[in-house]
Structure 1
Amino acid sequence: MARPRLNSSDSHTDDLPKPKLNKELLKKALQIFSYLKPYRGKFIIGMVFLVLSSLTMLTFPALLGAMIDAAQDKQTYPWLPASVLYIGGISLLILFSQSVMSFFRIRLFVEIAEKAVANVRRDSYLKLITLPIDFFANRRVGELNSRLSSDLSQIQDTLTTTLAEIIRQGISLVLGVLLLIIVSPKLALMNLCILPILVVTAIFFGRFIRNLSRQTQDQLADSNSIVQETLLGITNVKAFVNEYYEAQRYSKKLDNVVRLAVKGATYRGIFASFIIFCIFGAVIAVIWYGASLVSVGEITVGDLTTYILYSMFVAGSMGSFPELYANIQRALGASERVIEILHETTEEIQVTEEDKTIKKSIIGKLTFKNIEFAYPSRADIKILKDISFTAEAGQKIAIVGPSGAGKSTIASLILQFYKPVNGEILYDDVPSSSFSLTDIRNQVAIVPQDVLLFGGTIRENINYGKLDAGAESIIEAAKRANAHDFIMGFPDGYDTVVGERGVKLSGGQRQRIAIARALLKDPAILILDEATSSLDSESERLVQEALEELMKNRTSIIIAHRLSTIKNADSILVIEHGQVADFGNHIELISKGSGLYHHLFTLQTAQKIER
């Protein structure tokens, strides 16, 4: 049984394919570095500390070699006295200086990275919440959340650690190789002969092992998606008694994960054994050849010690580069995905504290004039075709029709979530283009069928309709919405936490909270999108009473499924196949004796009698 794979919001950027480096990718990704500009002074100071700490670190092998020679009364460097005490003192002084510089380097880079990434997070979040609704219709929440969490965490790690490590290891590698040649050209030549073998083997095995790791991650992601979808649909699993089937399905995926993991471990073991053999073989060869050079007097014991220590520096630097390169690839990919969001076109809206201030008032008249509409993602399918109607200020206009006829699309157009392909929407006989988006949305409210409450308190959710409202206004709105009594029935009253998406409240309670929120907003135009269609009879009665209170003295657009709730509407707009099939009040439409409205009303009445 094939099932669609769910997009898990906790997927990490490590699981994503690493993009190949190219000029275009670098150009996009490096735009993230523009966020470092405000801190360029500190960044330069941090870079100075980084370079100095890297250079001072490279002095230790030379000083330790000189110390060993000094213990044998030999002077390694003309400018350095052959005194163990003197060299030891200099070494401790340099070590202390290196520690201080490392502290300031780490402190500065972390501060810069934290502040820069915080600014990227702010800008990305602000960009997301100001993007048009169509953007979210084509994206998954898990994907967007991943960009704000794991992608930016990857960028943060790069700015904090990876960038500094690349520079530090680069300095250690280049200067280390030069110092190896200076200390002993013969030993350096022998080491460099082994190097190509190690590099070629590492590249070949590295690619093969990364491919196996990616396959393992994919299989693990599949197994996690099984767990996620099974737990989300646990009632279906139990209702169909499919616990054994789901357990077997999960077990098979885990077997694949184990098989690939063991295969990967086998090749990693072979690779690690080969590398260990080569590295320790090289160490043995260096010491063996170096000892022979010491025996003939070409180098001192101190020089050999210095050479071995520099070899370790160089080997460590070379060993760190594959992981650092992989981190850079991941960071570039993450940067590209974040930049894509930052370059998206937002709505024509300025996000400021003045957004809640209405500059151009709407009394309530609403006109649709020859509206045609198709969703941007399905431009070839017309949802609305030549829709025209007028709602006078204070009127109740009901919109009815079968599912998919375009009723909710009309609500989205009133809120200016989308722009019509053709035609014009007017508020108080003024084209919508003459109003700012914030002015329109500040004066239009919607009570949807599925109410989404935020995870805070009841007070905060009602207050969302008018952020500066006082406690008395909130209570008054709740009373008018038939919500005050059930709210006070909770031990914490208005401070009761509603849970994620309002799960701790019933459907009717959530609806009344939404109505209280709309009452607090006091809109000129109200949209009720099948607000009572999923409620039981008692809840519907309470909600309907609250809706009657909400609709007083304001233009109301009622999208209805239950036709019995719209008998008193001033006019009823019947939509079929995206077109106006009929228009009139309840009595006029019923008296025709035919038509879609008459058919739907007769059908619902018959079903009610049967029940």
Structure 2
Amino acid sequence: MGSLWKLLRHVDELKAYYIAIAVISVLLAVTALASPFLLQGATDHVVKRIQGQPSPVSTVIWFAAAILAAEVINALLSNIGGYLGDVMSMRMRAILSSRYYSKLLRLPQSYFDNNLSGAIIARLTRSISELSNFMQMVSNNFLPMIVTLVAALAVTGFYYWPLTVLLVLIFPVYTWLTALTSERWQRYEKAKNEHVDIAGGMFAEVISQMRVVKSFVAQRRELDRFNDEYTETIALTRPQSKWWHQMDGIRRTVLAVIFFGINAMILVQTMNGRFSLGTMVLLIQLVGMAKGPVTGMSFLVDSTQRALAGSRDYFSVLDEQDEPGASLDPVSPTQQLPAPVPGAAAVEFRDVGFGYDQEPNVLDNITFTVQPGERIALVGESGGGKTTIVNLLMGLFPPRSGSIELFGKPHTAHGLDTLRREVGVVFQDASLFSGTIEANIKYGAPWATDEQVRQAAVRANAAEFVEKFADGYQTVIGERGLKLSGGQKQRIAVARAMLKDAPVLVLDEATSALDTKSERLVQAGLEELMVDRTSIIIAHRLSTIATVDRIITIEDGRIDEIGTPAELAASGGIYAQLLSLQESGSKQDRKRLQSYDILR
């Protein structure tokens, strides 16, 4: 139960709801107990009347009216408590979801590289739903029952303490039997949750890639993969459920034996004259009140187990290490970037080494500088480490060795937010969001005016097609910009980078997937974007490489050559080989060019 107490402390801003629900639960217990006492009095008056003793009928009517009043007040309090429980549960869900999302936004890129995005989403849905539903059930139903039970035990103890002893005996016996069940049940549940999360991950991934699935006629295969995961959960449910219900049968049998002893004791003591008929009715009703929570404990324990599993999954994510320097502080339009050190390079890598997780290094001894306003190109075989260099520059991963400086200062010295404000990126995949064109262009500068958005679109060669849409800049472009062509998406991405106006620009194969006409339009926008800006280009066409100031060739995770296009053309190295391959028309040479991400 420690995880649930941790959960309550985690959302202690709901403390007022906890207190209010607890107070209402006490009042519900009072009104619930009033009915048995009133019925006791009414029964004794009826018995007196039957026995010929004076007892006016009006007295019994008053008892009935009092029972009615107690039940009406109980119903009113129950609904007020239910309302508070519903609101508390939804607020808890909102708080937990927000904190989970906030945590994800602060986690390092490696976490997302190692987990299916769909599984991350499924975990949010499952674990937080189970937690909030459990708390709703406890506040609306079980807490009032528990308070009523405690009061009932106190009353039975007043009348006849052996009854209370037997009632109290139920709980350690039930808890012990439940503990025997719990450990094995939790193991099954953990395994089931893993399969459910994987299935959820597959589902989200396929939905987002539906065109690919259909084009490869893979619908049946994907459905089979999805069904296989749920088949595993069914296979795990069988022994889990069998074990649970076997133990539940034992628990219920033990409870039935104990309640047999309690009822027998009440009836025998009444026949022996210890209790009046009214008191017998009172005690039987109190035992019935105690029996409800006890017999409902199977459902409570089942819900508690699920909530415990959900809370562990939830807190396992919250316990992950944040990205060093991660922040969710909003960026202000008046917030200035740090002043560069006079005479320092814009970007400097010093003997940098890096590898993913526990894998060997993919980069070794990477050392180069980029001067302010300089354009450089990174050239190398696919998988050689070009994009990894960009990821390190943006602080998405920390280097294993060496150091990186931006404008003369350690690149994370001012925090990751400041670092990433200094670097603008145009990816090969435009990576747009599902909102409007305006929202996508303003993504890096949400305070931008309509005129600034339009000017960025004009400079990126995007205004012409945007303004042909009926809704113009308010056009909703669909998930990942699916309503736009590849060239249109890239021009929106260029406009977004222009509006961000970062001093360092990274072009990660920004036009390699485009047709010739679209490429020319996007390239014109990129040329405008690179004016007076430090630019790092992951090269994909030799024509692009020829316009840069310097080329850095990378082979097997190491720098092979650094020089101007003219120098490297005559060096006999990778760049010279690429030029030679371009002149060749053979199929083999074309394939070799493609291995370097170079297109003819």
Same fold by TM (over 0.5)? yes
Shifted more, 141-150 versus 570-579: the winner is 141-150
Q: Deviations over 1:267-326 (max 9, x none)?
A: 999999999999999999988997777677665543443343323222211122222233
Tell me which residue corresponds to 1:3: none
2:325 equivalent among 309, 325, 348:
348
Question: Contact conserved, 1:61 with 1:309, CA < 8 A, in 2?
Answer: yes
For residues 93 and 223 of structure 1, the distance between their equivalents in structure 2, rounded to whole angstroms, comes to: 53
Aligned AA (2:346): L
Q: Deviations over 1:391-437 (max 9, x none)?
A: 22111100010112111111122222233333332333344354443
Q: Does 1:125 align with 2:105?
A: no
Q: Does 1:587 align with 2:566?
A: yes
Question: Contact conserved, 2:379 with 2:386, CA < 8 A, in 1?
Answer: yes
Q: Deviations over 1:3-59 (max 9, x none)?
A: xxxxxxxxxxxxxxxxxx5xxxx1x65343334544545543442222222232123
Tell me which residue corresponds to 2:298: 322
Q: Does 1:597 align with 2:548?
A: no
| Residues 519/189 of structure 1: CA separation in 2 closer, same or farther (3 Å cut) | closer
1:536 equivalent among 497, 504, 515:
515
Q: Does 1:493 align with 2:472?
A: yes
For residues 463 and 284 of structure 2, the distance between their equivalents in structure 1, rounded to whole angstroms, comes to: 80
For residues 17 and 200 of structure 2, the distance between their equivalents in structure 1, rounded to whole angstroms, comes to: 43
Q: Does 1:366 align with 2:346?
A: yes
| Residues 220/405 of structure 1: CA separation in 2 closer, same or farther (3 Å cut) | closer
Aligned AA (2:47): Q
Tell me which residue corresponds to 1:442: 421
Aligned AA (1:464): Y
2:439 equivalent among 442, 460, 471:
460
| Residues 125/64 of structure 1: CA separation in 2 closer, same or farther (3 Å cut) | same
1:386 equivalent among 365, 372, 389:
365
Q: Give the superposition deviation at 1:188.
A: 8.2
| Residues 607/561 of structure 1: CA separation in 2 closer, same or farther (3 Å cut) | farther
Tell me which residue corresponds to 2:595: none
Q: Give the superposition deviation at 1:512.
A: 0.7
Identity among equivalent positions (%) equals 29
Trace 1:144-183 onto structure 2 (pairs within 5 A): 144-162=120-138, 165-177=141-153, 179-180=155-156
Tell me which residue corresponds to 2:65: 89
For residues 157 and 390 of structure 2, the distance between their equivalents in structure 1, rounded to whole angstroms, comes to: 76
Question: Contact conserved, 2:170 with 2:255, CA < 8 A, in 1?
Answer: no
Structure 2 unaligned regions, length at least 5: 591-599
Trace 1:35-434 onto structure 2 (pairs within 5 A): 35-38=10-13, 40-41=15-16, 43-73=18-48, 83-115=59-91, 117-162=93-138, 165-177=141-153, 179-180=155-156, 299-343=275-319, 344-354=321-331, 356=333, 357-362=335-340, 365-375=345-355, 377-378=357-358, 381-434=360-413
Aligned AA (1:63): L
Q: Give the superposition deviation at 1:449.
A: 0.8
Q: Secondary structure of 2:357's match? A: helix
Question: Contact conserved, 2:122 with 2:200, CA < 8 A, in 1?
Answer: no
Q: Give the superposition deviation at 1:606.
A: 3.1
For residues 268 and 349 of structure 1, the distance between their equivalents in structure 2, rounded to whole angstroms, comes to: 44
Q: Deviations over 1:480-503 (max 9, x none)?
A: 111111212322221111111212
| Residues 520/219 of structure 1: CA separation in 2 closer, same or farther (3 Å cut) | closer
Aligned AA (1:129): L
TM-score (norm 2): 0.80
Q: Secondary structure of 2:48's match? A: coil
Q: Deviations over 1:317-342 (max 9, x none)?
A: 11222222333333334334433444
Q: Give the superposition deviation at 1:457.
A: 0.3
Shifted more, 543-552 versus 56-65: the winner is 56-65
For residues 342 and 218 of structure 1, the distance between their equivalents in structure 2, rounded to whole angstroms, comes to: 18
TM-score (norm 1): 0.79
Question: Contact conserved, 2:498 with 2:529, CA < 8 A, in 1?
Answer: yes
Q: Secondary structure of 1:416's match? A: coil
For residues 449 and 553 of structure 2, the distance between their equivalents in structure 1, rounded to whole angstroms, comes to: 41
| Residues 447/607 of structure 1: CA separation in 2 closer, same or farther (3 Å cut) | farther
| Residues 205/522 of structure 1: CA separation in 2 closer, same or farther (3 Å cut) | closer
Q: Secondary structure of 2:404's match? A: strand
Aligned AA (2:304): I
| Residues 325/393 of structure 1: CA separation in 2 closer, same or farther (3 Å cut) | same
For residues 443 and 50 of structure 2, the distance between their equivalents in structure 1, rounded to whole angstroms, comes to: 79
For residues 205 and 431 of structure 1, the distance between their equivalents in structure 2, rounded to whole angstroms, comes to: 55
Q: Does 1:553 align with 2:528?
A: no
Q: Give the superposition deviation at 1:531.
A: 0.7
For residues 146 and 96 of structure 1, the distance between their equivalents in structure 2, rounded to whole angstroms, comes to: 43
Aligned AA (2:353): F
Question: Contact conserved, 1:184 with 1:307, CA < 8 A, in 2?
Answer: no
For residues 417 and 243 of structure 1, the distance between their equivalents in structure 2, rounded to whole angstroms, comes to: 35
Q: Give the superposition deviation at 1:180.
A: 4.9
Shifted more, 165-174 versus 313-322: the winner is 165-174
For residues 219 and 436 of structure 1, the distance between their equivalents in structure 2, rounded to whole angstroms, comes to: 38
Q: Give the superposition deviation at 1:201.
A: 8.6
For residues 197 and 397 of structure 2, the distance between their equivalents in structure 1, rounded to whole angstroms, comes to: 36
| Residues 569/287 of structure 1: CA separation in 2 closer, same or farther (3 Å cut) | closer
| Residues 270/74 of structure 1: CA separation in 2 closer, same or farther (3 Å cut) | farther
Aligned AA (2:25): L
| Residues 555/420 of structure 1: CA separation in 2 closer, same or farther (3 Å cut) | same
Question: Contact conserved, 1:162 with 1:327, CA < 8 A, in 2?
Answer: no
Q: Deviations over 1:229-270 (max 9, x none)?
A: 777777777777777777888888888888998999999999
Aligned AA (2:408): D
| Residues 539/41 of structure 1: CA separation in 2 closer, same or farther (3 Å cut) | closer
Trace 1:26-37 onto structure 2 (pairs within 5 A): 26=2, 29-37=4-12
| Residues 601/60 of structure 1: CA separation in 2 closer, same or farther (3 Å cut) | farther
For residues 520 and 513 of structure 1, the distance between their equivalents in structure 2, rounded to whole angstroms, comes to: 11
Question: Contact conserved, 2:352 with 2:404, CA < 8 A, in 1?
Answer: no
Q: Give the superposition deviation at 1:200.
A: 8.9
2:463 equivalent among 478, 484, 487:
484
2:541 equivalent among 562, 574, 577:
562
Q: Give the superposition deviation at 1:136.
A: 2.6
Shifted more, 101-110 versus 129-138: the winner is 101-110
Question: Contact conserved, 1:366 with 1:425, CA < 8 A, in 2?
Answer: no
| Residues 452/120 of structure 1: CA separation in 2 closer, same or farther (3 Å cut) | same
| Residues 552/152 of structure 1: CA separation in 2 closer, same or farther (3 Å cut) | same
Q: Does 1:512 align with 2:520?
A: no
| Residues 289/394 of structure 1: CA separation in 2 closer, same or farther (3 Å cut) | closer
1:470 equivalent among 446, 449, 462:
449
Tell me which residue corresponds to 1:14: none
For residues 20 and 65 of structure 2, the distance between their equivalents in structure 1, rounded to whole angstroms, comes to: 28
| Residues 136/391 of structure 1: CA separation in 2 closer, same or farther (3 Å cut) | same
